[in-house]
Amino acid sequence: MQGGEKDTIAMTLRVTSFASGSSGNALLIHTQDGALLVDCGLPQRRIERHLAHAGLHPSVLAGIVLTHEHGDHSLSAGALARRHKVPIITNRPTAEALGGAVSGADVRLMPVGSEIALGPFSLRSFPVPHDAAAPVGYSIRAAHWCVGIAIDLGSWDKDVLEGLRAADLVVIEANHDREKLRAAPYDWAVKQRIFSPRGHLDNVDAGALLAQLGADGRRRTAWLAHMSERANSPNIALTIIRNVLSLAAVGCIELHALPRNAPLVWESDRHMQQLELFY
Ligand SMILES: [Zn+2]
Ligand SMILES: [Zn+2]
């Protein structure tokens, strides 16, 4: 056995989605050597409960890493950071947009496109098109594993594709079905915002991105995130994206819809998604 393989076996990377969608987002990235949160868009007590279920006290977090300032991603970041003395990792425009919500917290600035080490993790951010101050996705590595995260983006480009390229687990927005969104009971201005290239990604565009990634034939898991309650459903998203992948002859990506309000876990050593755990 090569040394690298031993390292891979010794180091399990576990990713838990606590919740996903417009009512709140938070992902726990966890190894035996450390943990971090990506986004903290649930009430503080719920985050603390989820962490306790994972056997973690919030104070052990290496950081709370933010994708952008919208409340469904940042709700309790400041409170959790202040209470448990955990640093918030974000870029300057996002920190400025959050303003008083993160004052008194240890905010560490990470310029868009830069790479930092945080506990056992190596993080690189990349810009995503979304209507926030400086929204980003992340490529997060630990040992030989990589998680790529791009949630809340209206379209994708080379930066997004390259940012997700190395990921074994891709967390990608599949917000809406275009027809369902057209028919949904929202104001036209709201629909226009969601449809815009700086709004939210629809199923077909998410599928096209996964088809591009999957062209290399590498085995990956994809979590479909931030699904609209009224303008999408797990069945519709999975059916459309499977069709897009099948038309592109991509068969190496295992798809799962992220539950809106229940946790889902992925573990690197099994290289598969686990059963949904409700608690
Ligand atoms: Zn959001
Ligand atoms: Zn947003």
Q: Ligand 2 centroid to 132 CA: how many Å?
A: 7
Q: Ligand 1 centroid to 49 CA: how many Å?
A: 21
Q: Ligand 1 centroid to 30 CA: how many Å?
A: 22
Q: Considering every ligand atom, which ligand is closest to the CA of 94?
A: 2
Q: Ligand 2 centroid to 6 CA: how many Å?
A: 39
Homologous superfamily of 3-272 in CATH?
Ribonuclease Z/Hydroxyacylglutathione hydrolase-like (3.60.15.10)
Q: Considering every ligand atom, which ligand is closest to the CA of 130?
A: 2
| Contacts (Cβ under 8 Å, ≥6 apart) of 199 | 130, 131, 154, 193
Residue tagged 């891709």 (tokens)? 170
Q: Ligand 1 centroid to 42 CA: how many Å?
A: 12
Domain ranges within the chain, ordered by starting residue: 3-272
Residue 271's pLDDT is: 55
Q: Ligand 1 centroid to 6 CA: how many Å?
A: 38
Q: Considering every ligand atom, which ligand is closest to the CA of 198?
A: 2
Q: Ligand 1 centroid to 217 CA: how many Å?
A: 30
Q: Ligand 1 centroid to 176 CA: how many Å?
A: 13
* Residue among 133, 139, 126 at smallest CA distance from 97: 133
Q: Ligand 2 centroid to 264 CA: how many Å?
A: 21
Taking only the tens of pLDDT, the chain with its 279 residues reads: 444 444 444 589 999 999 999 999 999 999 999 999 999 999 999 999 999 999 999 999 999 999 999 999 999 999 999 999 999 999 999 999 999 999 999 999 999 999 999 999 999 999 999 999 999 999 999 988 999 999 999 999 999 999 999 999 999 999 999 999 999 999 999 999 999 999 999 999 999 999 999 999 999 999 999 999 999 999 999 999 999 999 999 999 999 999 999 999 999 887 544 444 443
Residue 200, φ and ψ in degrees, nearest 5: -130, 150
Q: Ligand 2 centroid to 257 CA: how many Å?
A: 19
| Contacts (Cβ under 8 Å, ≥6 apart) of 162 | 126
Q: CA-CA distances (angstroms) from residue 266 to 31, 54, 220?
A: 12, 13, 11
Contact call for residues 200 and 174 (beta carbons, < 8 A): no
Q: What is the CA radius of gyration of the chain?
A: 18
* pTM, two decimal places: 0.93
Residue 143's pLDDT is: 80
Q: Ligand 2 centroid to 18 CA: how many Å?
A: 17
Q: Considering every ligand atom, which ligand is closest to the CA of 22?
A: 1
Q: Ligand 1 centroid to 68 CA: how many Å?
A: 9
**C-alpha span between 160 and 26 (Å, rounded):** 20
Give buried/exposed letters for 262-275 (b at 16+ CB in 10 A, else e): ebbbbbbeeeebee
Residue 10's pLDDT is: 56
Residue tagged 């999408």 (tokens)? 232
Q: CA-CA distances (angstroms) from residue 141 to 149, 220, 274?
A: 11, 15, 20
Q: Ligand 1 centroid to 130 CA: how many Å?
A: 10
The secondary structure element, H or E, covering residue 50 is helix 44-53
Q: Ligand 2 centroid to 74 CA: how many Å?
A: 10
